[in-house]
Amino acid sequence: MPLLRGSSLDAVAAAGNGTRWIAWLAPPFLPYAPALQAAGLVLERQLIVRTLQTKEVWWAMEQVLRSGACRAVLGWAGEARGHVLRRLKLAAEQGGSVGLLFRSTRYRSQASPANVRVTLQGAEAGLEVEIFKAQGGCTGRTRVSASGLGVIG
Amino acid sequence: MFACAAACPSLTPNHRCAFMMMKTPAATLDLFAPLPVPPAPRGIGVAPGTRHKPTARQLWLAVHFPQLALEALERDTDARQPHAVIDGSGSAQRVAACDRAAARAGVRPGMALNAALALAPRLAARARQMRAEERLLERCAAWAAQFTPCVSLEPPDALLLEVKGSLGLFDGAARLCERISAELGHRGLQVAVTLTPTPRASLWLARAGRNTVIIEPAALIGALATLPIGALGWPQESLALLTAMGLGTVGDCLRLPRDGWARRFGVDLLEELDRATGRAPEVRRSYRRAQRFHARFEPMAEISEIEQLAAVLEPLLAALGRFLRSRQGGITSLMLGFRHRAAAESILRVGLAAPSADARHLMALVRARLDRYTLPEPVTQIRLRSGPVLPLDFESGSVFRSRRAAPDAAGGVPRLVERLRARFGEDAVFGVCLVPEHRPEVAWRAVPLDAAAEGGRGRRESAGPSVARPLWMLTQPAPLKVVDGAPRYRGPLSLETGPERIETGWWDGRDVARDYYVARDARGARLWIYRDRRPPRGWFWHGIFG
């Protein structure tokens, strides 16, 4: 299961440095508070929801996105079908939030209405990032080291 | 003296008159100053100050329930059966109220029961239930609190509402009166609604059955003058005396001299007349309402589907919303009880992070709870009880609604947390904070989000060491396989940095002695592992770096 990498944490931090919250829905491990703070996130504004089933992750993610209370929503769902993804996209547009849904790479070939789609793959010296869909942008493959800049938008 | 009066053409005839009555010429010097009103003997009703106060300081709306005694009792709906409520006992039983069918037969309130039975042999006579009347009146008072915070009970059968400040909101006095009498009429209550500048006058006019609206204090006496004294609720002996004197209306009473009135009828009635005309103030006790909401609902048939249950709960929660709105408060807890035929009552509790009075929001929370709920048995009765009503900070709605739903900060977070909690349970939703502690597993703590949402939790400076910590931690360190003394995870691990020794915690019995390393596995993932320094010196996986 792909995890959120340190590099993309910077992007989340940049997105969440205001007053708005960041929601973590069903993360596979515990987000570790000292590391979150070291990355510049405001600890008081993290909302973590644990132990959810896949369908509940969809529901929670839609709720959080639609409420607009959170700047970014990170959700870990094993899978998500087309209509779920469309609902999530609509909710994100309504709430003005950024949603990141982490799925297994098995679903790469599935169509998705997401604005940006990325595969993350652990590599020898860091992380291989492939942006294979970007609305109004360019796609490509890059490799970032552990200290590299985040590219997830 | 006449010459002087002629030389002052601006004087009114009244002034000239006063001048002519003056005895001494020296008084002519005062002619150009405003003169007092001639001290002629005056009746009770002439209020000296009314000309200087063209607008009323208060406006009182009286609601009189002429048939409250009847309406407080549950009746069968056969319209042809005459009904009456009987007051008193033994031979002193009298009709307190009767319905239209009884009135057609000639029964009147105040009539002896025997006389009433003689007129209407089929009369269903029931004993008066004072407690039920009080409860009904209180329910009406609680309902009326949506129009003004100042509601006063006037037992046995009337309410008084001070509505001066509410007229703007409810489109003026006439509209407000219409609305109140229409809405009470829908509830099956017969009412007379009156609005005047004094509570006593409103009450009198309402009891006389007049639906009057008087805003100007000057017009008040004119409206009162035609009122028969029988409608004032005065003691019988005083009424008999007044009638014997040939006085039939309030206007007749107001024309009598004050001192004589006080001698003949006592100061109390004089005081009442003064209050009615606004000469004397009337202090009213405000009605204090119940601070919790209780409701009970018995469905026609047993409910076994969650969908049906939700449909039944909706009006109950709407009633709760109205209850809270009239108190300008919100609740943070809500209890739902479902009674079954055999099984013990199912109790469902809903907690909120911030006080709310929004019925739709409450319904969404209840819905989320119900979705995860399985009823042990069909429901025969539903109970709803609110927690204490807390003051609510109303936010002004925005005039220009932005297209984006929530442009401002964290306003929606408490609600969001409530929704998530209602669905996933209290423990599944939390925030984090740092704890100044070297042991990695206790250097953070999960905190409930209530405090965080209110901003009550202060920011802590970084308490941990400045060395790198993994983004992800395992809840429990997982033992790693060891082959030839080297730890393995999905293949051999290569140690990158370390060891970082953490040896502390002897004081609470969970002491640790570990050497931490950053290791990279065959797929390139960086793991945070440690070797226990105490036997059997095993290797454990504790975290994963991004």
B343-377 per-position pLDDT tens digit: 888 888 887 777 788 888 888 888 888 887 888 88
CB-CB neighbors (< 8 A) of A33 in chain B: 432-434, 443-445
pLDDT digits (tens, 9 = 90+) for B471-480: 888 888 888 8
pLDDT digits (tens, 9 = 90+) for B451-478: 444 443 444 444 445 667 888 888 888 8
Interchain contact A149–B (C-beta under 8 A): no
Q: Region B421-448: what's the mean pLDDT?
A: 82
pTM of the model: 0.50
Q: Lowest-confidence range among A108-117, B203-212, B282-291?
A: B282-291
pLDDT at A50: 83
What is the per-residue DSSP string for B350-419? Answer: EEEEEEE--HHHHHHHHHHHHHT---SS-EEEEEEEE---EE--PPPPPSS--SSS--SSSTTHHHHHHH
Mutation target to probe the A interface, by most A beta carbons within 10 A, among B369, B371, B416 is B416
Judged by CB atoms closer than 8 Å, whether chains meet at B432 and A31 is answered as yes
User: By CB neighbour count within 10 A (0-12 exposed, 13-18 middle, 19+ buried), where does B169 fall?
Assistant: exposed
Judged by CB atoms closer than 8 Å, whether chains meet at B405 and A67 is answered as yes
Pairing relationship of beta strands B429-434 and B158-162 according to DSSP bridges:
unpaired
Mean pLDDT computed over every residue of chain B: 77
Q: Which residues pair with A130 in a beta bridge?
A: A119, A141
Please determine, for residue B25, whether its predicted confidence score (pLDDT) is greater than 50.
no
Judged by CB atoms closer than 8 Å, whether chains meet at A39 and B416 is answered as no
Judged by CB atoms closer than 8 Å, whether chains meet at B416 and A63 is answered as yes
Mean pLDDT computed over every residue of chain A: 75
CB-CB neighbors (< 8 A) of A21 in chain B: 410, 413
Could you say which residues from 96 to 125 on chain A have a Cβ atom under 8 Å away from some Cβ of chain B?
Answer: 96, 122-125
pLDDT at B393: 62
Q: Region B272-298: what's the mean pLDDT?
A: 82
Residue B30, classed as helix, strand or coil, is helix
Cis peptide before B536 (omega within 30 of 0): yes
Interchain contact A2–B (C-beta under 8 A): no
Between A57 and B510, the higher pLDDT residue: A57
B43 pLDDT band (50/70/90 cuts)?
Answer: low
Cα separations in angstroms, B456 against A45, B25, B352, B451, B459: 12, 82, 17, 5, 9
Q: Region B189-208: what's the mean pLDDT?
A: 89
* Torsion angle of the four alpha carbons B402, B404, B410, B411, in this order, in degrees rounded to the nearest 10: 50
Residue type, B502: I
Please determine, for residue B404, whether its predicted confidence score (pLDDT) is greater than 70.
no
Q: H or E element: which one contains B341? A: none
Nearest residue in A to B441, CA atom = A32
A145 pLDDT band (50/70/90 cuts)?
Answer: low
Mutation target to probe the A interface, by most A beta carbons within 10 A, among B365, B432, B496 is B432
Q: Contact at 8 Å (CB) between B370 and B362?
A: no
Please determine, for residue A39, whether its predicted confidence score (pLDDT) is greater than 60.
yes
Q: Rounded CA gap, A6 and B68, in Å?
A: 73
Residue B416 C-alpha, separation from nearest chain A C-alpha, in angstroms:
7
ipTM of the complex: 0.79
Residue pairs spanning A and B at CB distance below 8 A? 159
Between B199 and B465, the higher pLDDT residue: B199
Nearest residue in A to B461, CA atom = A37
Please provide the distance, in angstroms rounded to a whole number, between the alpha carbons at the two ends of chain B. Answer: 111
Q: Region B400-426: what's the mean pLDDT?
A: 64
Please determine, for residue B193, whether its predicted confidence score (pLDDT) is greater than 80.
yes
Phi-psi region of B505 (alpha: psi -120 to 50; beta: other; left: phi over 0): left
pLDDT at B54: 53
CB-CB neighbors (< 8 A) of B544 in chain A: 3, 29
Residue B496, classed as helix, strand or coil, is strand
Between B6 and B155, the higher pLDDT residue: B155
Q: Lowest-confidence range among A95-104, B4-13, B345-354, B360-369?
A: B4-13
pLDDT at B18: 38
**Residue written as token pair 């020794």:** B501
Please determine, for residue A87, whether its predicted confidence score (pLDDT) is greater than 60.
yes
Nearest residue in B to A19, CA atom = B409
pLDDT at B499: 81
